[in-house]
Structures are given as C-alpha cells and as structure tokens.
Amino acid sequence: MRELIRQKYILTVALVVLKRSRMFGRVVLADYGQPFHYPLREGLSAIRPYQGTLECYGSTLYREVSMTEADLYVFMARHRLGILATICPNATPQSALMGIAITPQLEIVFDTVKSSRKYPNLIARPACSFVIGGWGAGEQTVQYEGEAQELKSPDLERYQTIYFQVWPDGPERMRWPGIVYFIVRPTWIRYSDFDQNPPLIREFIFRSGRAAQA
C-alpha cells in the first residue's frame, strides 16, 4: 500500500492493536503508523482487515465510528452496578447505588423494598436516571434516562429470570418484607469514551421502543 494519501479515499489495511480498553481497541494504520480508533468486540482477533472511508486532515487519519444498540448492550451488560437517581416529593434528587441487570432491549432491572425512599419516588414520579461505568480502568460511561415501572405477573417472572442470572443471590432476597422489582425502559442514552482521541460520544433517543442516534 504505497498510494498517496488523498483528502478522502477508500482502502483496505491491516489494523494492529496498541491497547485495548473495555470495549474498544486503540489501533494504528500499519503502513503509515497514524493512530486512529477501531471498535473491537470481545473474541475478535486483534489484527483485522478494514475496508471503509477514511478522511485525512494534515497527517492524521480519522474514521467515522458507529455505535449501535448492540454495542451499548455489550458495554452495559458488563456492569452489575449503576447509580440510580429519583425525584422526591419536594422535587429534589435522591441517589442510590443499585445492583442491576440489562436486557438486550437496554432495559434495566433491579429490586428494592417498599420502605426505601426510591420506591414511593418511582411510583409517583417514574422518570429516573442511571449512570453506569466509570469506576474501573478507562473512561467509558453511559448516562441513561428512562421511565420506571413496578413489575407484576406475568412479566415479573420473566424479568426475575434475567435479574437472577446476574445476581444469583436474588432468590434469597425474595423473603425480604416488601421486596419489589422494577424495570426501567430507556428514553435517552449517551455513551462516552474519553479514552479515545477525539472522544467518542454517541446519543440515542428512544421513541416507541426504537432508538435513533442523535
């Protein structure tokens, strides 16, 4: 590959991983050594062929990076904890660290008890938010806004199965007085990865159960 770099072109190159973050790998364009980023999912080879459109600005190559609902699910499902924010009766926020499980539809499932502050908050004001990620190595986070609903049969049993797969001790807590389960369906999600340069930030707006990238 020795053609001159044009302002915009399509080519096939080999990608070599320099560093892997939680969901993305940092890579270089092998022949020119110019750094850019390429999403690498778990289980894929570290060296992959790439075919797509690259743009050249000065000496640096950039590639448009896509972020799908499936990518969001992979990231979110790796986390068992999230910070939940609810709205109390005097319209001030209240936060709690929660054990969570994620569905492929990006719904969040968690349990709580009726004596908690969050329970009456969510019953009266279902709008809530989560922050997921950002505690380990790397600067990848999800900001999540959605509507909460207390689960009842027959949906309750289906979502309990998903939750108990992540939290095997969940069935033991079913003996707790007043335990309940909630599902939160997304209305807006922002994924941010500040390990990339420039940072990768993607927003999704959910209408009628489907997401559109902002």
- Angle at CA of residue 212, ends 96 and 185, nearest 5°: 35
Average pLDDT, the chain: 76
Q: What is the pLDDT of residues 50-96, one digit of tens each?
A: 333 333 334 334 444 678 999 999 999 999 999 999 999 999 999 99
Using CA atoms, how far apart are residues 120 and 163, in angstroms rounded to an integer? 22
Asked if 58 and 93 sit in the same domain, the reply is no
Q: Are residues 113 and 200 in the same domain?
A: yes
In a domain, 3, yes or no: no
Predicted confidence band of residue 202 (pLDDT cuts 50, 70, 90): very high
CATH code, domain with 105: 2.30.110.10
Clarify whether residues 187 and 110 are in a common domain: yes
Provide φ and ψ at 149, rounded to 5°.
-145, 130
**8 A C-beta contact, residue 83 and residue 141:** no
pLDDT of residue 137: 83
Q: Which domain holds residue 90?
A: 72-213
123-173 pLDDT, tens digit per residue, is 999 999 999 999 888 899 999 999 999 999 999 999 999 999 999 999 999
| pLDDT for the residue 208 | 56
User: Is 94 found in the same domain as 61?
Assistant: no
Same domain, 79 and 45: no
- Structural domain count, the chain: 2
Please report the pLDDT score of residue 87 as a whole number. Answer: 98
- Give the residue from 36, 65, 94 where a domain finishes: 65
The radius of gyration of the chain from alpha carbons, rounded to an integer in Å, stands at 21
Domain identity same for 101 and 170: yes
In terms of domains, do 194 and 155 share one?
Answer: yes
Q: Is residue 1 part of a domain?
A: no
